[in-house]
A and B are shown apart, each in its own frame.
Chain A
């Protein structure tokens, strides 16, 4: 499938998940996108899926303590200074579930884009998409850099364990990505990037499934806006 068609579908699903007021719809989209992400190699997909689902879980846990809605309390807690009385209503739980599923759906749509879409072809497509495509390629590069740092530490007998151990790699990761970004920018300029009159590889013709995917994306968004 063409990258544009795949992105249209993923964006449509994420949009519907954001605008729907139904937990079931958001849940179904989340499950669908999770299935799509699982088609990527497990070792790569694990990071994206775990990150997204943990973020969604955090939203689910925190929302009832932050929101104050509903009149059907399930739990009445103590009075906490500044926050007031801590209670959890069924409406708050419902809202928390919906928000968590929305976040999960958007996160998984991005994960599917990062894991499965052909970024090369996106980079070679319309000019405005190129910086975005380059920026999103940073994630796989960061994955490789992180694996490289862990490997270099293991190569001298140091095992990276726990959240703290991994957190300590953030600073060198940032530094190496900045350095890599500069080197890549230099190499791109030396190869004529940014020069007027750029051509491109002949674009493959639109196939029936590409057209169908874009049509489906439009239909999904329309259905979401009108009925969901």
Chain B
């Protein structure tokens, strides 16, 4: 008997014009690992929410068909009652952390399930250890990098020892080694897992089966993705930004960078990779002028702009075109051109918060590109971006590379290889260029 199944599930969010899921029937056997692919907005996250019971209980909307998990109908079982049998890791680690102390955060779900008090902390520490985050147990979640936070969220789910794991882009913030280890761990747990991923190669080797969604409809197998083509390389020109012997530490924490050097030249794209928590975002912010070094020098010529990790920060104005125009003194004509470049023509008057997550990413990119900077810094631009959009982004960055120096912080090796002229890898002890 299947552990979980949907039967002819059609679901429409309140006030949505079209269903997010259409007539979806899917069965998951105990211990089966299923990869779910599809473009942004195809219904992948909604499918996970349906298995967790959050659709329809939390979101409302029109629900037809049925979903059963461990013999329980989700229409009559609340998500909190399914917790423990099901554990969910959502897309955005920053928006699912309840407590600030890491070990207590992992313990939170165990407490809710009524786990005997003496077992709570040992299970929390065990789960943290399993995802390579034991060293974070006593840290504050506020201090963690996105990748470290994602490990904490994964530990919170594993600590519940569920029968069904629902993982929405669980490795989007992890370094390649960490991602491979985590997926190997999930595959070895012997529990059923539904894994949504935008980097198919990561999941393919661990999945028993692949399905894909297209406009809410479910199909077996993998969709056809465009290849990330090697782009033409340009000749590096003058140095636009130079970091020399840079030392940096956040207040009351150990140093992040000691004696760091980097030169960014016009015409080249440098990719920056490394383990979680090694200071990639710190380097990016130093280069863009958002942070000042404790010692050493950062010299820039011309204008710098940075695309931060969280696209939700690019929602200050009421309309997309106004948001983009912010960086160019309200010049809406330029803003509209920038929106068109990232494929958001026709969305000018929409509220940034009404856009889908993929569209928000592109709005944020337009908000930065419109300033035509001499130095462009982008931090994890492929987070939550489907392969088709990723290929477009690589092409866009390459086509504009000659006009500026570009620093791309990314864990996505395939993307880095496609866009980068040169890569810098930050390690815990050394910097490799």
A residues lining the B interface (CB < 8 Å): 41, 43, 118-121, 123-124, 140, 144, 148-149, 151-158, 168-169, 172, 175-176, 179-180, 183-195, 197-202
The answer to whether residues A119 and B114 also contact, given A148-B310, A189-B79, A195-B83 and a CB cut-off of 8 A, is no
* Interface SS majority for chain B: mixed
Interface string of B267-308 (1 = CB under 8 A from A): 000000000000000000000111000000000000111111
Contact B156 A191 (CB under 8 A): yes
Q: How far is the CB of A135 from chain B (nearest CB, A)?
A: 13
Give residues 94-128 of B contacting A (CB, 8 Å). 95-96, 98-101, 104-105, 107-118, 120-121
Cα–Cα distance between A172 and B315 once the two chains are bound (Å): 7
B residues lining the A interface (CB < 8 Å): 52, 54, 57-58, 78-81, 83-84, 86-88, 90, 92, 95-96, 98-101, 104-105, 107-118, 120-121, 142, 156, 160, 251-252, 288-290, 303-308, 310, 312-317, 326-327, 353, 364, 367-368, 370-371, 373
In the complex, what residues of A have CB within 8 A of residue B99's CB?
120, 123-124
- Interface contacts (Cβ under 8 Å), in number, total 154
In the complex, what residues of A have CB within 8 A of residue B289's CB?
154
Q: How far is the CB of B11 from chain A (nearest CB, A)?
A: 15
Contact A180 B95 (CB under 8 A): yes
13 A-B pairs whose Cβ atoms sit less than 8 Å apart in the complex: A152-B313, A152-B314, A154-B290, A156-B326, A168-B316, A189-B57, A189-B80, A191-B83, A191-B87, A191-B156, A192-B112, A194-B112, A199-B114
In the complex, what residues of B have CB within 8 A of residue A172's CB?
315-317
The answer to whether residues A144 and B142 also contact, given A155-B306, A192-B113 and a CB cut-off of 8 A, is yes
Contact B98 A198 (CB under 8 A): no
In the complex, what residues of A have CB within 8 A of residue B120's CB?
199-201
The answer to whether residues A149 and B112 also contact, given A187-B98, A190-B79 and a CB cut-off of 8 A, is no
Contact A202 B118 (CB under 8 A): yes
The answer to whether residues A175 and B353 also contact, given A119-B100, A123-B99, A191-B112 and a CB cut-off of 8 A, is yes
In the complex, what residues of B have CB within 8 A of residue A186's CB?
54, 58, 90
Of residues A43, A149, A193, A201, which shows the largest number of chain B Cβ atoms within 10 Å of its Cβ? Answer: A201
Q: How far is the CB of B105 from chain A (nearest CB, A)?
A: 8
Shortest Cβ distance from A134 into B: residue: B98
The answer to whether residues A156 and B305 also contact, given A191-B109, A192-B109 and a CB cut-off of 8 A, is yes
Cα–Cα distance between A201 and B124 once the two chains are bound (Å): 11
In the complex, what residues of B have CB within 8 A of residue A148's CB?
308, 310, 313
In the complex, what residues of A have CB within 8 A of residue B313's CB?
148-149, 151-152
Contact of A193 among B57, B112, B306, B364 (CB under 8 A): B112
Cα–Cα distance between A2 and B107 once the two chains are bound (Å): 19
Shortest Cβ distance from A140 into B: residue: B142
Q: How far is the CB of A174 from chain B (nearest CB, A)?
A: 11
Q: How far is the CB of B401 from chain A (nearest CB, A)?
A: 19
Contact B288 A155 (CB under 8 A): yes
Contact A184 B98 (CB under 8 A): yes
Q: How far is the CB of A203 from chain B (nearest CB, A)?
A: 9
A156-B326, A157-B327, A189-B80 given; 20 more Cβ-contact pairs under 8 Å: A148-B308, A152-B316, A155-B307, A156-B327, A156-B367, A157-B304, A175-B353, A187-B98, A189-B57, A189-B78, A189-B79, A190-B88, A191-B98, A191-B108, A191-B109, A194-B80, A197-B114, A199-B115, A199-B116, A199-B120
